[in-house]
Amino acid sequence: MRARCFSCRPKCRTPRNDPPAASASSSERRRNPTELDGFSWYCDNCGNRLFLERVPVANIETELPAIFSRFYSSIEHRTCSACGTVMAAPA
Ligand SMILES: [Zn+2]
């Protein structure tokens, strides 16, 4: 399974939920290992947030596969509560 940094995917960025000003200020901030990093998935259809998981930055590398697995293994997590669109799991 390919582990990709989800926040690097242009697809998950929605102008409504991720204003440029907010993302710029958070990326400039110095991070420490006890800080929590958030992984979120957004609906392809309407941009509603499907799922959010927060983990300590220090554990990102080891936690990443588990986070992806938790998200994709659950149809509830992948179903948009706003419009009902179900995000397809990767093949
Ligand atoms: Zn939706």
Residue 30 within any structural domain of the chain: no
Helix and strand totals (H; E) in the chain: 3, 2
Please state the domain count of the chain.
1
Let me know: does 68 contact 87? Beta carbons within 8 Å: no
φ, ψ of residue 55 in degrees (nearest 5): -135, 155
Ligand 1 centre distance from Cα of residue 32 (Å): 34
State the CATH number of the domain containing residue 72: 2.60.120.10
Ligand 1 centre distance from Cα of residue 71 (Å): 16
pLDDT one-digit tens code per residue, 35-59: 888 999 999 999 999 999 998 888 8
Domain extent for 73: 1-14+35-91
Residue 20 within any structural domain of the chain: no
Ligand 1 centre distance from Cα of residue 91 (Å): 21
Ligand 1 centre distance from Cα of residue 45 (Å): 5
Residues 6 and 38: their CA atoms lie apart, in Å, by: 10
pLDDT one-digit tens code per residue, 66-79: 999 999 999 999 99
